[in-house]
Amino acid sequence: MSELVDRAKASLEGVTPGPWEISDQDDGTASVWSDGRIIFADESGFRGGFAALPDAEFIAAARQLVPELIEAVEFLEQAADHWKSLWQGTVEDSTKVIQERDEALREVEALKNRAIPETVTRIDMIDPKRQEHWSDYWSVSIQDEGRTLKLFAEGDGSTAREERDAALAKTISEDLRRLGGTDE
């Protein structure tokens, strides 16, 4: 791309400063002006269709340079969009990881503040024989002079599951009403 930029810069050397303006004629011809000075006029103009050499070289080069520059800009815009989307995804992922870490740290701190003896060296979960880790309530047993804490899952979890399902149904119903829908 630097070769393209170098060619574009070289085409500007010695060119009449802008902005350039176009003057349309009734006969379909036009002339190019800058600050009251004619840069280029076609066959009906003062200069007989000729321009100063740097202006003429610039006009001739523009026909090839402009499409190449447009193509380069479009390519770079697509690349920038691609990298921006990757960066945005990374930022969102890292934000989520940070939030999850902070939540885990809060949970650890809450566990530290519970009334568990400092001498607990082992925690055993005694779970009924089932695949799900549902429990209607948990029983706690401290053994071995406070070095072992055992948690017992009591019940089959149906009461806890029913409470969770009822709370979920209530939340969905409230959200539907708030959004103007129906909860039927």
Instruction: Return the domain boundaries, the chain.
Output: 2-88, 118-178
Say how far apart CA 104 and CA 110 lie, in whole Å: 10
Tell me, what's the pLDDT at 131?
45
Please name which of 68, 69, 50 lies closest in space to residue 59, comparing C-alpha atoms: 50
What's the token pair of residue 4? 């393209």
The ranges of the chain with pLDDT < 70 are: 1, 36, 39-52, 113-140, 142, 144-149, 151-157, 160, 181-184
pLDDT at 5: 86
The count of other CB atoms within 10 Å of the CB of residue 4 is 13
Q: How confident is the model at residue 94, as a pLDDT?
A: 78
The pair phi, psi for residue 33, each rounded to 5°, is: -125, 155
Q: Locate all alpha helices (DSSP H) within the chain, ordered by sequence.
A: 2-12, 53-112, 158-178
